[in-house]
Structure 1
């Protein structure tokens, strides 16, 4: 049973709370000593970790760097050595849902995974636009001695959109964008086709192979969902 599920009932509740000493929308009830009613926020969740294809060569050692729970990949710190991408580090963002329906999905600064894959000092971050996250990539590879390595990289990004009822929303991807390419000149390497996370998934990890350079690169992807407590429905008209 949902208490105070209609607008008149909630208005009546507001009058009652005001009469017993609720001081403002965030005040304290003088009888119960409990703060004004708040509804628990919906919680973004990410299920599974699916690997995309990797592009590059077989040199170096394998790596997998995953964002913490509740965070997604929003960019990379990169390093350069001549025409090569010689280092990458994952940058994550924390996904949040608005407190009211219809829900909007935003990103706050998250974790910088403290591991540089490769050997170069970092340069400026290569970031998705605000409130978007990595969903794919494209780039070029080229020879380094007898090995194939990553020459350039460009990230594909998209926002998360929430649709559906207040208590059971669904998430889907919005219109995509691309970052600027970083690394060597794009026309000097062998381009590979854009590579995306599976349908309606977002990136939560980088993976591949690295040694002195970044030998190969791919993404680890997960399916997003939004878990809303039943009490959320009571806050709607």
Structure 2
């Protein structure tokens, strides 16, 4: 049974037979991609890393907002969470590499970490989530704040002026709070997101199981980019320390 009265930005809840026909050519999503491309071309930085990063970010944004994945997020909360995870932990760092704009005052990394975490928790609170996916304006408010706060977070993580210790601590702190949110979803005894109460059955999964799967996505795979970057920073720190204090042989 599908909840026919539910109106989502990405359209009505899909069914498996027609899901791959539900492409979304929303002008706002296309405009976002165009603005990102223009931003990269006009910043005057054209290195290969930036080129690959902006291309990867644009591909991910296209898949997330234009492909049938958008429609699938209406039916399955687990796909919605995966969508958000890709947005904040893959797309945002790619944009931070491609568009590292550092003009203007810098915010403390601790504050950016808190902002990103609060934004994540707010939009996964049941009432805020239900409101956000019910129309274009709240939907894009959710997506842009998730992406924007994460871009600011990752931009500071990758800043050459940032010392290694605080960056690693910020990454691990974000992983911890994201794992807590995932654990809450995994161990919840009942479904807590009304928009998905009647949308998961056509895909052969119960609402509670879908919610638990979303928690696992938030708990486990979502941490990998943060842990990977933290390890990369640690290796850079150790290699720099070895360079400064080379071993002497007698």
Would you say same fold, with TM above 0.5?
Answer: no
Greater relative CO (CA pairs within 8 A, separation 6+)? 1
TM-score when normalising by structure 1: 0.27
Quick check: which has more Rg, 1 or 2?
1
